[in-house]
A and B are shown apart, each in its own frame.
Chain A
């Protein structure tokens, strides 16, 4: 029994090393000087820690990293709560407001789940482009606000919402909107947080849509800026890694702080993918 447990720990450590290695490389490479990182032999750690990479990353006028970080922050902090709110509103109405239209509207919404998202980027580009959304903030944000899947999860949640609580609210004179805003929404904080955080991560890390729609450097997100850096002719390696390190820090912090909600969100989205 004892030996088996030791074996488990040995195995899990063997697997943990390659999972952590890339993070170590990001930090090491970001803190090295160009000369040292470009040298032919292996160094475990920079001889002298250099922050020149960070200065270069933010000083590069061709790729405005600070502005790209700002764009990503704006997009994610608008999209995450807004998309979650829209889904919760629709989910509540579908679960709790008994009107004849509920069923057709429900099917109208979940039918969109049949079509995988990324494959439709060209049709979406055609529509957003015709509405003048290329190189605009709303063009970057709007198509990502409507998640049928989140509606489905919220609807399931509100179907299980205790009827007594609602009845109490009705006695207090609340209508459907009041019941939603005063009772249902405040009581769905955990689900809201889980899906909101997942949505934040998704928007922060998105690449294809921002690449398609934010073509002008003014509308680059941090992922597009990093990709541009990566595919330049002469790459400034420490600057490249410094930029990448800055780009992942908010999400790594979020993962460490809010892991409970993230895991819950992952389980919800995995169960009914």
Chain B
């Protein structure tokens, strides 16, 4: 790329003239994207970073510097640290459960002879539903606290006569079941599609060869062929799952709305909800920006760690 363009700069006359339309076309085609990313990413992040060192309450103007006060206050606020613990626990739950279910369903669907498309659609179609609608069904019907809620009707059939307030019960944390299952329903199909494609790319000869070598059982074929061949897909899936889990907002906000203050009931605040309340509720943009950077750094560190553990270290070795 650089070698072809290098002579264009000093080259006088005809050559330069020939290059000019290329420049103009390049500028025209990339300018909207570059300008948009500049304003909504670079300026935004830069401004936010500066704001995080300012006392910016009720204003988004810079000037009232307070050093690291926002960060200090944030990390000293038990509600914020608790929101970090909440999201960490949530991630630890949702990532392996979604991973296992998505992989299991992909293997299962792949084994079907007929009706594969039908079942693939069945598991994938919840991905069309928004988190708001998912939260709505879970809170008001599936896990509604009334006796006619689905979970309570089922419990009644099993001889459990008292209706359970799923969302409202903190000890034991039943609301956790509501939060985990709704995301499970909404996102599993997406990852199943990724696994399914990964499985279908594995050459059939590998399985045949393994069978010749005496590996007959389904479990052994999975362990020795499917699982190692899905390595790249698995790494990508875990990465996406972690990033998405860390940014959880919609279902927590909508399912636990009445408990978001953390006064009584479950404190269902994720970091993003805490930041939402800080920036838009209290209009404290300095602290809100500081929190945004803390969360961003956490996500980046987590994904890098995961990459180090599961993926990139290994691939780098293979390449070298």
Would you list which residues of chain B between 72 and 116 have a CB under 8 Å from chain A?
A: 105, 108-109, 111-113, 115
Q: Mark A248-273, 1 if CB is under 8 A from B, else 0.
A: 10011011100100010011001111
Task: Please tell me the size bucket of the interface on B.
Answer: 35 or more
The residue from B26, B109, B127, B254 contacting A227, defined by CB atoms under 8 A apart: B254
Q: Is the interface of B mostly helix, strand, loop or mixed?
A: helix
Q: A120-B41, A122-B48, A273-B239 are in contact. Are A86 and B285 (CB under 8 A)?
A: no
Please give, as numbers and ranges, the residues of chain A lying within 8 Å of B228 by CB-CB distance.
none
Question: Is A182 on the interface with B (CB-CB < 8 A)?
Answer: no
Q: Are A19 and B250 in contact, with the CB atoms below 8 A?
A: no
The residue from B25, B125, B243, B275 contacting A273, defined by CB atoms under 8 A apart: B243
Q: Are A102 and B1 in contact, with the CB atoms below 8 A?
A: yes
What's the nearest-Cβ distance from chain B to residue A164, in Å? Answer: 19
Please give, as numbers and ranges, the residues of chain B lying within 8 Å of A273 by CB-CB distance.
236, 239-240, 243
Chain B binder among A34-42, A48-56, A58-66, A188-196: A34-42
Q: Are A130 and B60 in contact, with the CB atoms below 8 A?
A: yes
Q: How far is the CA of A90 from the CA of B122 in the complex (A)?
A: 36
Chain A's closest residue to B25 (CB) is A176
Question: Is B9 on the interface with A (CB-CB < 8 A)?
Answer: yes
Chain A binder among B29-37, B168-176, B205-213: B29-37
Q: Are A142 and B299 in contact, with the CB atoms below 8 A?
A: no
Q: Are B285 and A22 in contact, with the CB atoms below 8 A?
A: no
Please give, as numbers and ranges, the residues of chain A lying within 8 Å of B194 by CB-CB distance.
266-267, 270
Q: How far is the CA of A212 from the CA of B52 in the complex (A)?
A: 19
Q: Are B48 and A98 in contact, with the CB atoms below 8 A?
A: no
Q: Are A8 and B108 in contact, with the CB atoms below 8 A?
A: yes
Q: How far is the CA of A146 from the CA of B190 in the complex (A)?
A: 23
The residue from B111, B133, B237 contacting A244, defined by CB atoms under 8 A apart: B133
Q: Are A208 and B249 in contact, with the CB atoms below 8 A?
A: yes
Q: How far is the CA of A121 from the CA of B45 in the complex (A)?
A: 10
What's the nearest-Cβ distance from chain B to residue A38, in Å? Answer: 8
Q: A9-B112, A118-B249 are in contact. Are A39 and B43 (CB under 8 A)?
A: no
Please give, as numbers and ranges, the residues of chain B lying within 8 Å of A78 by CB-CB distance.
none
The residue from B133, B136, B190, B247 contacting A118, defined by CB atoms under 8 A apart: B247
Q: Are B128 and A180 in contact, with the CB atoms below 8 A?
A: no
The residue from A19, A128, A263 contacting B185, defined by CB atoms under 8 A apart: A19
Q: How far is the CA of A196 from the CA of B190 in the complex (A)?
A: 17
The residue from B115, B246, B249, B285 contacting A207, defined by CB atoms under 8 A apart: B249
Q: Are B257 and A119 in contact, with the CB atoms below 8 A?
A: no
Q: Are A256 and B249 in contact, with the CB atoms below 8 A?
A: no
Q: A100-B5, A120-B45, A244-B136 are in contact. Are A176 and B109 (CB under 8 A)?
A: no
Q: Are A93 and B25 in contact, with the CB atoms below 8 A?
A: yes
Q: Mark A99-128, 1 if CB is under 8 A from B, else 0.
A: 111110100110010111111111111111
Q: Are A115 and B296 in contact, with the CB atoms below 8 A?
A: yes
The residue from A118, A126, A208 contacting B285, defined by CB atoms under 8 A apart: A126
Please give, as numbers and ranges, the residues of chain B lying within 8 Å of A235 by CB-CB distance.
140
Chain B's closest residue to A178 (CB) is B25
Chain A binder among B219-227, B261-269, B287-295, B312-320: B287-295
Residue from the set B25, B51, B134 with the largest chain A CB neighbour count within 10 Å: B25
Question: Is A33 on the interface with B (CB-CB < 8 A)?
Answer: no
Question: Is A71 on the interface with B (CB-CB < 8 A)?
Answer: no
What's the nearest-Cβ distance from chain A to residue B287, in Å? Answer: 10
Taking A12-B109, A115-B300, A271-B236 as given, write out 13 further A-B residue pairs in contact, using a Cβ cutoff of 8 Å, ordered by the A residue number.
A8-B111, A40-B146, A40-B148, A86-B32, A100-B8, A109-B37, A112-B42, A119-B296, A120-B292, A124-B40, A205-B130, A230-B132, A240-B136
- Going nearest first, the 5 A-B pairs with the smallest beta carbon separation are A123-B48, A176-B25, A205-B130, A146-B36, A93-B29
Binding site for B on A (CB under 8 A): 4-5, 8-9, 11-12, 15-16, 18-23, 25-26, 29, 37-43, 86-87, 89-90, 92-94, 97-103, 105, 108-109, 112, 114-130, 142-143, 145-146, 148, 151, 175-177, 180, 201, 204-205, 207-208, 212, 223, 226-227, 230-231, 235, 237, 240-241, 244, 247-248, 251-252, 254-256, 259, 263, 266-267, 270-273
